[in-house]
Amino acid sequence: MLEIKDLSVYFGVINALKGISLTVNEGEIVTLIGANGAGKTTTLRTISGLEKPTSGTILLEGKDITATSAKDRVKMGISHVPEGRRVFPSMSVLENLELGAYLRRDKKEIAKDLQMVYEHFPILHTRRKQAAGTLSGGEQQMLAIGRALMSRPRILLLDEPSMGLAPLLVQEIFNIIGNINNNGTTVLLVEQNASMALRIAHRAYVMETGSIVLSGTGADLMQSEDIKKAYLGG
Amino acid sequence: MEQFLQQIINGISLGSIYALVALGYTMVYGIIKLINFAHCDIYMIGAYVGYFCMTFLGIGFVPSLLAAMAVCTVLGVTIEKIAYKPLRNATRIAVLITAIGVSLFLEYGTMFFVKAQVRSYPPLTGLLAETLRLGNISVPMLQVLILAITVILMLLLQFIVNKTKIGKAMRAVSMDQDAAELMGINVDTTISFTFALGSALAGAAGILVGIYYNSINPLMGVLPGLKSFVAAVFGGIGIIPGAMIGGYIIGIVEVLISGYINSMYRDAFVFAILILILILKPAGLLGKNTREKV
Ligand SMILES: Nc1ncnc2c1ncn2[C@@H]1O[C@H](COP(=O)(O)OP(=O)(O)O)[C@@H](O)[C@H]1O
Ligand SMILES: [Mg+2]
């Protein structure tokens, strides 16, 4: 469904991505793990069109979208939950969710999706009139995911959804990601919480300073000695 | 007491004009963090468009108002496209200096075409020349008109910003540009639209000041521009209701100082207010006191 070939990104002289390639198949959860500064966020931002690559291609369902605007990528079904949640703080929860459906005109279906989001995250329904900036970290993460679902994505990009959350909440967020995937949405999940990510992912890639150094099924990588040492604290 | 009320009414008229101009400063700052120095000159151009419409084309006030707003909208959007958009990723100081350049260009460009001399709006006729009497207070219809138009425009603006899709996009972009882009919002279009709205309001302010004070010149925007900017900062820069309140407060203070102390001091007082607010509540009346990241 999503294929990245030889993607390079520079920030001035900093070479953040050094020709990475990866594939996400329809229906999968693929995780991208790696230490801070490895280039995970840059990878997602380039896929959603916030950063321009200096070389390489991004294919969505075989179509080259490397030069496509961020807006058109949303239309084509890419939805990105950015690092640090980035909800619109002085807008209400409901307004945030409505903005997630910004490009859609099908009012009835939008209303259905709003109900679907409230089913995934009942707390968002309770807080729908509250300003998003006043939510707790976990609630903001739920809102950011809910907002991304409102565009009815085919592939959901998630950047460290567990960051800064209590273990119980992390478990809940991961359960919801599993549910979203079961409902048919493909997921590309960036995480520093490698053990959790590997557990729910079908496949995984490991990044180090701008390159992909390892890939395999989630289960395989969990067994790998290198991974255990570097990321799983064993 | 009557004199005081009379002064307040004058202050409201002046404040309406400051508020309309302040809105443009605050919206543009809110969305691209730029103090658009050229904004006060768009207001001046609005005054000239109104003047030409009413004097040479002989068309009435309302069509002239719409013409001034339309021309200023186009001008504001064009300036953004030509001068600011290419600098989207430049340092803030580079954009600021460009804005000063655009401002000087508009001032002296206008002077080249219309000469530096002061021009007078045609005298008002009909209903607009009348005066409303409320007991011992007299309110020229002109002031009623200024207030009415300002209130209509502000209600319209509030509606656009809070209820329409493009208005929501404006608010989203001003809070978080990247996140807005991830929603599928076209950031460039949204910024253009913000300039359009602000410039239309400045154009309206220009023609209103023309019929109110009756005299215009190519540098007329400079001082009111500064005061409107003070009004925007006073209310909390980037906050729309703040600019409205700030505009009225500055207008009323200025008129009261002129009336009761000495008109020589009025500008000094306005800027003293700016200094005070920057010391006491840097984020402005309605602003949250967060330190700005530069
Ligand atoms: N806007 C930017 N300007 C300059 N350097 C950046 C920018 N964004 C990221 N980088 C650099 O690119 C590298 C990868 O960053 P990032 O993608 O955020 O890593 P990760 O998400 O894996 O922690 C880091 O060295 C980081 O400092
Ligand atoms: Mg990151």
Q: Report CA(A55)–ligand 1 centroid distance (Å).
A: 17
Q: Report CA(B89)–ligand 1 centroid distance (Å).
A: 17
Do the Cβ atoms of A215 and A22 come closer than 8 Å? yes
As for how many domains chain B has, the answer is 1
Q: What is the DSSP string of B90-133?
A: S-HHHHHHHHHHHHHHHHHHHHHHH-SS-EEPPPP-GGGG-EEE
> Does the pLDDT at position B294 exceed 50?
no
Q: Is B172 on the interface with A (CB under 8 A)?
A: yes
Q: How many CB atoms lie within 10 A of CB B120?
A: 12
Does B67 fall in a domain? yes
Residue having the nearest C-alpha atom to atom 14 of ligand 1 = A39
Min Cα–Cα distance to chain B from A25, Å: 22
Does B139 fall in a domain? yes
Min Cα–Cα distance to chain A from B288, Å: 11
Q: Is A71 on the interface with B (CB under 8 A)?
A: yes
Report the residue of chain B nearest A47, measured CA to CA: B182
Q: Choose the mutation target among A79, A88, A134, A152 for the interface with B, i.e. most B CBs under 10 Å.
A: A88
Atom of ligand 1 nearest to the CA of A45: 17
pLDDT one-digit tens code per residue, B235-282: 999 899 999 999 999 999 999 998 888 888 888 888 898 888 888 888
Give the one of B168, B172, B182 whose C-beta lies nearest to A48's C-beta.
B182
Q: What confidence score (pLDDT) does residue A218 get?
A: 78
Give the one of B178, B183, B186 whose C-beta lies nearest to A99's C-beta.
B183
The backbone torsions φ and ψ at residue A28, rounded to the nearest 5 degrees and listed phi first, read -85, 160
pLDDT one-digit tens code per residue, A155-199: 999 999 999 899 889 999 999 999 999 999 999 999 988 888 999
Min Cα–Cα distance to chain B from A169, Å: 23
pLDDT one-digit tens code per residue, A190-217: 998 888 899 999 999 999 999 999 898 8
User: Ligand 1, residues A14, A44, A47, A163: which to mutate, most atoms within 8 A of Cβ?
Assistant: A14
Contacts 24+ apart (CB under 8 A), B270-277: B270/B227, B270/B230, B271/B226, B271/B230, B273/B230, B273/B234, B274/B230, B274/B233, B274/B234, B277/B233, B277/B234
pLDDT one-digit tens code per residue, A91-146: 999 999 999 999 999 999 999 999 999 999 999 999 999 999 999 999 999 999 99
Do the Cβ atoms of B160 and B30 come closer than 8 Å? no
Domain boundaries, chain A: 1-77+187-234
Instruction: Please work out, in degrees rounded to the nearest 5, the angle formed at the alpha carbon of residue B241 by the alpha carbons of B36 and B236.
Output: 55
> Does the pLDDT at position A84 exceed 70?
yes
Per-residue pLDDT band for B229 (boundaries 50, 70, 90) equals: very high
What is the span of the domain harbouring residue B117?
20-222
Q: What confidence score (pLDDT) does residue B136 get?
A: 83
Please list, residue by residue across A4-28, b when 16 or more beta carbons sit within 10 angstroms of its beta carbon and e when fewer do. Answer: bbebbbeeeeebbbebbebebeeeb
The verdict on the CB of residue A36 being under 6 Å from ligand 1 is: yes
Q: Is A74 on the interface with B (CB under 8 A)?
A: yes
Verify whether the Cβ–Cβ distance B172 to A82 is below 8 Å: no
Report the residue of chain A nearest B166, measured CA to CA: A102
The verdict on the CB of residue A52 being under 6 Å from ligand 1 is: no
Percent pLDDT > 90 in chain B is 75
Does B275 fall in a domain? no
What value does the mean pLDDT take over residues B99-103? 96
Does B284 fall in a domain? no
Q: What confidence score (pLDDT) does residue B261 get?
A: 86
Instruction: Please work out, in degrees rounded to the nearest 5, the angle formed at the alpha carbon of residue A176 by the alpha carbons of A170 and A182.
Output: 140
Verify whether the Cβ–Cβ distance A88 to B178 is below 8 Å: no
Q: What confidence score (pLDDT) does residue A109 get?
A: 96
Which CATH number describes the domain made up of A1-77+187-234? Answer: 3.40.50.300
Which helix (H) or strand (E) is A28 found in, with range? none
Q: Report d(CA B121, CA A90) in Å as an integer.
A: 44
Q: What confidence score (pLDDT) does residue B290 get?
A: 54
Q: Is B135 on the interface with A (CB under 8 A)?
A: no
Q: Report d(CA A116, CA A145) in Å as an integer.
A: 12
Q: What value of ipTM does the predicted structure carry?
A: 0.93
Does B256 fall in a domain? no
pLDDT one-digit tens code per residue, B67-88: 999 999 999 999 999 999 999 8
Give me chain A's average pLDDT, please.
93
